[in-house]
Structure 1
């Protein structure tokens, strides 16, 4: 194990084809958003290159891009470190998420048909099983898939594009509170499904606002539990 401390099996396979720097970027971003690489962790080019089976150059280029996007901090004479988000950064992002997803839930209630609500039911059932199995990584992935499906059912391409811009950061902030939210999050998901199935748009929007607010509050309270 190298000093970056990546868990066994955490490093994603680099998909081909595509520019190597882009594939390295995607791999590192996935490691950051899943918190296999944790906030504040020192990122050593040679060690990351060894993990990924590439030279240092594409790793350097990927780190520069991640720095530009706010995922990595490049410190003079010290190197690269995974960005440590401030409480204000998290609050701003999760507040924007609430606005986007409440509107998505409202539109989904107006537009979703039976196949769409069936898909939500299946994702919810899988999420409940992941929580029961204490499989946090799978629960986080299924939570993201559930919210993405609601966004898809909303049928608004502009809204979906805006949501995609914050999706990975939402996952980043949700991961450390996923176990704490546990089954309660999926109970709230089922309430959302009920409102969407009933085509109750105001109720769906309100439930989504409450749901995302619970996640925002859990994030801020994570170190006091």
Structure 2
């Protein structure tokens, strides 16, 4: 129920298109913008500021923000468009873009954006504005992305030798450590921050 005692209403197709477009743009631009943590070293002089990289980009912010404010359809449409555009040679993936990107071990994580964004939006809209729900939905969406990514890594590891390329015995574990374990804490911090932003936007828009 909303504040007027009425059941929450689904987002209109026009608004879904609007948020899908915004989500696509945020995902593209976020792919190339690194996340930094800003720490003032002197409380009396804000000019002395240290910045520490979290080792990730704002890409996931676009993925989950769209789900939290635009719903499951807008979130999924944005990521489907992102994947298709990248595969058809637009340089919007982190290392460029082309159909050959399916040969990259990390491509499974990009494919995971679609179900991860959809799940996030499904859990949040239509429904009440609850910050903890926003955070939980993004967390579950993040788990889905990593699940797809790890499954893709497994397939990549076992199929690559048949294509004539040899991998090291520890390749699978090293790849999971690189793409999932190492960035996961920073990604958790990012989704907590974007949950707060989405919550504030929903308060302003009154839905």
TM-score normalised by length of structure 1: 0.28
More helix by share: 1
TM-score normalised by length of structure 2: 0.29
